[in-house]
Structure formats: C-alpha cells, structure tokens
Structure 1
Amino acid sequence: MSTGKGLIFLGPPGSGKGTQAQELSKELNIPHISTGEMLRAAIAKQTSLGQKAQVYMDKGELVPDELLLGLIEERLKEKDAENGWILDGFPRNVAQAEFLDKLLHKLAKFSEQAINLDVPDPVIIDRLLLRGQKEGRKDDNEETIRRRLEVYREKTQPVLDYYRQQDRLSSVDGNRELQEVTKTLKAVVT
C-alpha cells in the first residue's frame, strides 16, 4: 500500500475547493487534480471528450461517469501522483466514489480522507457570479449556478454520507477568510 497522502476535496461549486487544493498542493508537494480543469482543457482543445463534456457543462449538469473515469485513472497513474494527490471535483456521486476506491486498491493507493468545505448557498452564488465576471466563464450565471447547486445536493450529497459512514470525512467551514480555511485544512490533514 502507498504511504502517500490521498485527499478528496468535496463541497458545492464555489466552496473554495480548487483554491484550497492549490494551497495544500504546494504545502504538501503533491498534485492538485481538478476534473473541472481537465475537462475545460479537453473542451479548449476540442477533443472528442471535450466536445461531449461541453454539452453537459453548459447546462450545469454533471459530466457522465464514463467520460470521467478513464481520465481519472490515467491521471492517478502519472509519476507526480506517486506520493499522494488532492482530487478536486471527483467523486461527484456514490458510484464514482466506489469506482475510486476500487481503482485506488488496484493501483495500490488509497484515499486517507475526504474533506468537505461547507459554505451557505447565498455565499456560493455571490462567489460564482463574481468569478463569472472576472474570468468570463459562461457557466457562472445565476440560473446555471442554481442548477449546479441543485444537482450537487441531489447527486453529491450522498457521497458525504458514503465517506462519513466509513469514518473518512472531515467537514471544514469554508465561509471564512482564505488563510483561516487553509490553516484549518492543514491541521485536519497533518
């Protein structure tokens, strides 16, 4: 079994998963693996996967499992992930969580813990609208944001229960200053 630190960052869109994963990635010297970034890169390159994924992402829907699973498996096999990794945006449903556990077992790696960043919906909506203005992301408009939160509650909330039942879930209040959240996360993972 790997002794590397495998971390799974959970939380609704706009909860700060990506920002906090980048901070901890530098701190722990392990890669931040963002399925959202991998998908956006595939869309930008107009790959077959990217074109299929864009249809779902533009509507605020989750990209189907079959499009994500191979992407994740290949990424976790890369050399920089040998000593650990931070997964951001995956798993998004219980079937993906079960797939991930089987994959990690097959690769002789494991996730030590899942971390949930808890942020109230009104704060998330404000954050994502601001991000949409700054970055010009067309999926960050209020209608799509509300749909993404609805999909998150429906599909991803059960993942929290999955990891909680295995005693592998830590929840962190993500509605604080960036540095405060980072400090709390460091204490949780070390």
Structure 2
Amino acid sequence: MIRIIMLGAPGSGKGTQAQLLSKYFLIPFISAGEILRQEIKKNDKTKNYIQNTINKGKLVKNSFIIQLIKKKIKKKKYCNGFILDGFPRTIEQAESLKKNINIQYIIYLKIKHDSIINRIQGRLIHEPSGRTYHKIFNPPKQKNKDDITGELLHKRKDDNKKIILTRLKEYEKYTKPLIKWFRKEIKKNKIKLLEINSNKSITDINKKIIHYINNFKK
C-alpha cells in the first residue's frame, strides 16, 4: 500500500506528477480541486459558495473540504493506496487527515513564484477527469484535446494573473506553515518527506520521486 501527499504552490506541477505516479504505482489519485468542481455540478446548495470562493482564489472552509475528502477516501477504490493532490492545504486539514489514515510519503515540489504565473497561464484541464496539460511543458498529443478521450480541454476560470496572485498569498499564509508542520511530524512518525525543485523537467522530477519511493519500499 502506498499513500502519497503532493505538496506545493499552485502551478508547481502537483497534478501532473500525481497522474504519472498513479500510472506507475497503479493507485488512484485524488484531486481536491476536481472534487470541488464535481460538487459544483451536483450540489445546488453549495454550488455558489464553492464557485465564488474558487473564483476569488481563496480556500474553501476547512470543515467543508475535510468532509468531502473523508467521504472520498472511505470508498473501496482507495483502500489499497492513493495520491492526494491539493489536500491538505492547512494544518487543521492535516491534523484531521492524520486521525483517519497513515500517510507514508510527502512530496514537496518547490518553485519560485515568478515561474508559477507563466506555468498556470498555459495550463489546460480535462474537466471530467481532472487530467492537466500545459501548452508548452506538457502539451496534449492533439492540440486542445484530451489524450485519452479526445474531448476538448479548457482553461480554468481561476487561471488568470490576478487570481493566481491571490492564490499564492493564500498558499504563503496557510500552506507554507503546513510544510513546517510536516517536517516536525516526520521526526515523530514514519513519514518520508522528499523536497524537490520543480523547475526541472517533468520526466526528471518523476524519475526522482519514483526512485525515492522505491528505495524505501525495499
């Protein structure tokens, strides 16, 4: 069983690496952002709240996303492991997760903020699956089409410079302290933390992560 948390600022490549690791280790990945987008489509009661929060570049309430993630990971599909992308993003979320499951690996992708803006502005997404692409760094095989379904890719509404800057402020406020929290946790528990420069190529980063995890599996 492998349980991985992907940490990093918006645009650091968490989603791309989660998808690649999912294929390699044959475990599903869970995208917190995709869960919220699905919730928008199926739940009229919370649709406006989620949409307005995301469009402002803010984080949804801890209690709200914690409930959705807990419900998700209880499904049989995830009993043999998973990769979490976009959760936890706060210490409160991490503490809640810790009470329910044992996480083995934390992969922290580090990147400078000026590089993030260029990355996010070129990002494309396949909304039904959550698969992500980039016009330059990770282009689809056919222009603007998902590699698997052939369906059209879209640019997220919150992938514009103004909202990106707000999201980065939220990251500095809530997620940066979370990384320090995890560094303390690895001393208490058997959690492994890999910090990696995500300015490298997608392939190089992926190889390093796989090598790191495989070494500890032996």
When normalised by structure 1's length, the TM-score is 0.90
The Cα of 1:48 is off from its aligned counterpart by 2.6
Query: In structure 1, what is the Cα distance between the partners aligned to 2:44 and 2:70?
Result: 18
The Cα of 1:49 is off from its aligned counterpart by 3.1
> Would the aligned equivalents of 1:18 and 1:34 in 2 still touch at CA under 8 Å?
yes
> Would the aligned equivalents of 1:24 and 1:182 in 2 still touch at CA under 8 Å?
yes
Partner of 2:19: 22
Among 167, 179, 186, the residue aligned to 1:148: 167
Moved over 2 A (4+): 44-51, 132-136
Deviations 1:80-138 (A, max 9, x none): 1111110000000101100000121xxxxx10121101111111100111126973321
Among 164, 167, 175, the residue aligned to 2:183: 164
Partner of 1:122: 114
Structure 2 residue matching 1:175: 3-state secondary structure: coil
Partner of 2:85: 88
Which entry has the higher C-alpha Rg, 1 or 2? 2
Are positions 1:100 and 2:90 aligned together? no
> Would the aligned equivalents of 1:49 and 1:67 in 2 still touch at CA under 8 Å?
no
Number of corresponding residues: 182
Partner of 1:10: 7
The Cα of 1:46 is off from its aligned counterpart by 4.8
The Cα of 1:47 is off from its aligned counterpart by 3.6
Percent of aligned positions that are identical: 38
> Would the aligned equivalents of 1:5 and 1:112 in 2 still touch at CA under 8 Å?
yes
Unaligned 5+ segments in structure 2 are: 125-134, 136-143, 145-153
Structure 1 residue matching 2:123: 3-state secondary structure: helix
Partner of 2:42: 45
When normalised by structure 2's length, the TM-score is 0.79
Deviations 1:41-81 (A, max 9, x none): 22233543333211111100001112111111111111111
Deviations 1:161-189 (A, max 9, x none): 11111223221111111111110111122
Alpha-carbon RMSD: 1.5
Q: Go from structure 1 to structure 2 and tell me whether the alpha carbon gap of 1:30 and 1:103 turns closer, same or farther (over 3 Å shift).
A: same
Query: In structure 2, what is the Cα distance between the partners aligned to 1:83 and 1:10?
Result: 21
> Would the aligned equivalents of 1:118 and 1:173 in 2 still touch at CA under 8 Å?
yes
> Would the aligned equivalents of 1:94 and 1:162 in 2 still touch at CA under 8 Å?
yes
Query: In structure 1, what is the Cα distance between the partners aligned to 2:25 and 2:47?
Result: 30
Query: In structure 2, what is the Cα distance between the partners aligned to 1:189 and 1:6?
Result: 11
Are positions 1:179 and 2:203 aligned together? yes
